[in-house]
Structure 1
Amino acid sequence: MKLGVLLFEGFELLDVFGPLEMFGQIDDLDIYMVAEKAGAITSAQGPAVMAQEELSKKSDYDIILVPGGIGTRKEVENTGVINWISGQASRAKYVASVCTGSALLAKAGVLDGKNATTNKLAFSWVCSQGLNTNWIGKARWVQDGNIFSSAGVSAGIDMSLALIDEIWGKRTAESIADWTEYQWNSDPNDDVFAEKQGL
């Protein structure tokens, strides 16, 4: 299987590398970093990551992962990125977003009529990008069919393990959590941050 990870200027580091630490333990999964242009893409935290493939290459991926970060505020108006997400989502077996990455999925129409969640601190803004989405305030992550969306930043790790569970089974997900010494919150409704933000 192939996983395509969308990169853009100002993406959140843990939104990408938290999930990739989990997905990277799967032997039969190839991971590709994808951006408008190949080369160094600067994260919100400063370090740059190398994009291997360009959106224009039109490769197909079994899974696409869309991170959040401050850069999403600009990318919601980027037609090239939004069109890429829409096209990939129509062909991918699974679509996943972390944090405000769900705003990009919503803008691309991927979340129309779907249940989804996002970062609690940016909840109102993300909801404004998808008026036809049923936004769930209290959720660590949400699965609606083949679409997985997580709450903020670290929640992407829990969501990724849930997606691994969906594809490769619970034993695989649990063994990865154990190997990385990560305490997996496997209950999508266990969300202490919703109450803190009044959701």
Structure 2
Amino acid sequence: MAPLTFGSLVYNYQAIDVIGPTDLINSSSKGLLKALKVYAPIDEKTISRAPDVVFHHIGLTKEPVALLSSYVTIVPTTTVDECPELDVLILGGPNPVDFELHPKYAEFIRRHVAAGKPLLTTCTGAFVAALAGVLDGKNATVNHIEFEWLKKRFPQVKWTMEKQWVVDGNLWTGSGAVAGMDMVAHWIKENFGQDVLTAGALGLDFEPRDIDGLLTVLPKRYNAAGKQISTHVYKHYDEY
């Protein structure tokens, strides 16, 4: 199976919007699950379903870009002109007040969506997608703090904040940054299986929430004393 190519456009987004989801994807990858098997009995069938992943951080140039938060600087690994075809594109959230979408980025987003490939947005990444025009007539959500502001600016989008994320065809829009991680967890579960997500999430000690914000995604297990323990990938821990 060919590696999953997972890309993000590099501009001044909030660091966790992209780094959180990509870390979860990486933790659920074949290479990381093989490494985790040193510590826990992860089934070979689970590892076989996990993806090999190649990440691309896509800039206008390869010059470093300072992100919106945490004094993090990203050095692009490729450019918008040279980037290979992606399987998945993720858009992190910038500050909408002073953000301008470069025409090359807008065209890159439109081309990706038109090809039917998944576009994932976290937080105000939906604002970036709306600027590119790919959310027109679609159901979408955004960070709930910016919801009313964005709804007025892009009335052609069917905005909702009833759920933590919204899926409309190949468009996946998450609300806040951590809800975006929850959304990506669901995407992993849907595409590679519950066991791959479970192993990857436990590698980060991360318990994703469901679309309603509830902790119902990972199966719970308890030992004879009633103490909650890790899920089925750690079967021999039942004795603890």
TM-score by length of 2: 0.73
Change (3 A) 1:102 1:159: same
Aligned-CA RMSD value: 1.8
Shift in Å at residue 81 of structure 1? 1.8
CA positional deviation for 1:124: 2.4
Larger Rg: 2
SS in 2 for 1:5: strand
Which of 47, 59, 72 is the aligned partner of 2:72?
A: 47
Match of 1:149 in 2: 173
What is the CA–CA distance in structure 2 between the aligned matches of 1:144 and 1:91, rounded to whole Å?
Answer: 15
Tell me which amino acid in the other structure corresponds to 2:137.
Answer: G
Deviations 1:97-123 (A, max 9, x none): 000010111222221222111111111
Say whether the 8 Å CA contact 1:115–1:134 is kept in structure 2: yes
Which of the residues 20, 23, 26 maps onto 2:22?
20
Alignment pair present for 1:70 and 2:95: yes
Report the count of equivalent residues: 188
Match of 2:219 in 1: none
Give unmatched runs, 5+ long, in structure 2.
31-51, 215-240
Contact in 1 for aligned 2:96/2:124 (Cα 8 Å):
no
1:2 and 2:21 are equivalent in the alignment: no
How many angstroms does 1:162 deviate by?
A: 1.1
Question: What residue is the counterpart of 2:57 in the other structure?
Answer: 33
Q: Given the alignment, which residue of 112, 120, 129 partners 1:105?
A: 129
SS at match of 1:37: coil
> What are the ranges of 5 or more consecutive residues in structure 1 without an aligned counterpart?
192-199
> For the Cα contact (< 8 Å) 1:62–1:94, is it kept in 2?
yes
Structure 1 equivalent of residue 138 of structure 2: 114
- The Cα shift of 1:134 comes to 1.2
| 1:190 maps to 2:193 | no
Range with greater deviation from structure 2 (155-164 or 123-132): 123-132
Q: Which residue of 1 aligns with 2:84?
A: 59
Q: Secondary structure at the match of 2:135?
A: coil
Does 2:187 align with 1:163?
yes
- Contact map agreement 2:96 2:127 (CA 8 A) in 1: no
- Measure, in 1, the Cα distance between the counterparts of 2:116 and 2:98: 25
Deviation of the 1:58 alpha carbon: 4.9
Q: Percent of counterpart pairs with the same letter?
A: 24
67-76 or 90-99: bigger deviation: 67-76
1:12 aligned partner, one-letter code: Q
Residue of structure 1 aligned with 2:110, choices 75, 86, 104 = 86
Please, what TM-score do these two structures have when normalized by structure 1? 0.87
Superposition pairs of residues 130-141 of structure 1, within 5 angstroms:
130-141=154-165
